[in-house]
Amino acid sequence: MKRPPPIPYCLNVHPASNWAAVRHALATHALAVKKLVAPDRPFPLSLHLGYQTALELAAPRRLRAFRAWLRDHDCFVAGINAFPFGDFHSRAVKTSVYHPDWRSPDRLAYTLLIARLLAALIPVGATAALTTVPGGWLPDWKSVADARHAWANLARAAQGCRDISRAAGRRIRIAIEPEPGCAWELFNPRLERLGPEIGWCLDTCHAAVEFRSIEDLDWNRIARVQLSAAIECDNTPDARKALTPFAEPRYLHQTRAARDGEVIGAWPDLAPALKALPKLPENAIVRTHYHVPLTWTGTGPLRSTRGNLSPAFFKQARNTFCEVETYTHSIVPRALRPRSLALALAGELEWAAARYGASSSTKRKTVSPGLA
């Protein structure tokens, strides 16, 4: 029986401010991970390309060279992350990760550029999805006109994907990735009416933060799954103290508190949450949007929501493109940082593969040093 391809990891964990940085990440990290988890079979790559990097790759000579690199190293492109338009590893990303949002023609142009690249990198007859911003950061939207402009641009993107599919013989889908505090929520029917080119990216960290169940979903509407985990804790003084070092300046860490499954507190970032949480009951459950490695079980009073990735969940997700998305290895508190990024990423892929039902290609157990 032919083994399924390995589960990929999202390359947004690596700097990608230009094509040279992406090539370095592929040669240094992606091939090292392949050697650990798939030394004898093709390895899927889930690229992240910002707008400027995508423009560089789109040059015909560079695109031909990349196709040759894929052949030479037994790799293939499985999807592209087109959520961050700019540098996802800049000193302070925060809400800028949503800009430009879907109100802007720049988001439309970026999405169609990625769609054309994806069509040029997958085989004839194949289907692949690119991820995108869920509309935008909701506090930025001030009128009904904002929603109307965003919807119109998404409609143009859907039509553009149809045109690309007809011309290239490859089907490209746009997977909207809902995130706490954003304009478009999972399974918004108005967006789905734009056609089958519009689907959803289920990020299991985001769903956990919003206390959304990820079992018994309509999987026909989900084009992509990002396997990820959030930090969870009880609302105790010790837990809040342990959570404090995770309030860092680069990424946005939306935080929610719930009691009996009902959200009773919501904050746009971890720092304001830590100030407000002492006013809420200690039996509240706190979850924060901080992608922790799937191999991490917790530290002291802090836990991982990876338990949500249950056998029932994986059984339902088996026919959907899944990837591991942990981009925080370089910013977790220093005591938790892995000594080897390749080992850390391989450990997550093997953790996911064991539960997904695919067997590891190596008998040696690979774990994430310092995080397992």
**Residue-by-residue DSSP string for 244-283:** GGG--SSS---EEEEETTEEEEEESSHHHHHHHGGGS-TT
CA distances from 112 to 100, 109, 367 (A): 14, 5, 38
Instruction: Name the nearest CA neighbour of 42 among 2, 93, 82.
Output: 2
Q: How far apart are CA 352 and CA 71, in angstroms?
A: 26
* 288 neighbors 304 (Cβ within 8 angstroms): no
CB proximity list for 142: less than 8 A, separation 6 or greater: none
pLDDT for the residue 54: 98
| Helix or strand run (H / E) with residue 240 | helix 237-243
Strands 43-48 vs 75-81: parallel, antiparallel or unpaired: parallel
Domain limits, the chain = 11-229+295-356
Return the structure tokens found at 52: 């400027």
Residue 166 CB: number of other CB atoms within 10 A?
A: 9
Residue 159 CB: number of other CB atoms within 10 A?
A: 14
**The amino acid at 7:** I
pLDDT for the residue 256: 98
* 167 neighbors 260 (Cβ within 8 angstroms): no
Q: How far apart are CA 352 and CA 5, in angstroms?
A: 13
Q: What is the pTM of this model?
A: 0.94
Q: Does domain 11-229+295-356 have CATH number 3.20.20.150?
A: yes
pLDDT digits (tens, 9 = 90+) for 318-358: 889 999 999 999 999 998 899 999 999 999 999 999 998 74
pLDDT for the residue 314: 93
pLDDT digits (tens, 9 = 90+) for 189-247: 999 999 999 999 999 999 999 999 998 899 999 999 999 999 999 999 999 999 999 99
Instruction: Name the nearest CA neighbour of 131 among 188, 58, 49, 207.
Output: 49
**The amino acid at 257:** A
Instruction: Name the nearest CA neighbour of 46 among 20, 4, 75.
Output: 75
| Helix, strand, or coil (residue 296) | coil
pLDDT for the residue 3: 65
| Residues in the chain, pLDDT under 70 | 1-4, 358-372
| Helix, strand, or coil (residue 302) | strand
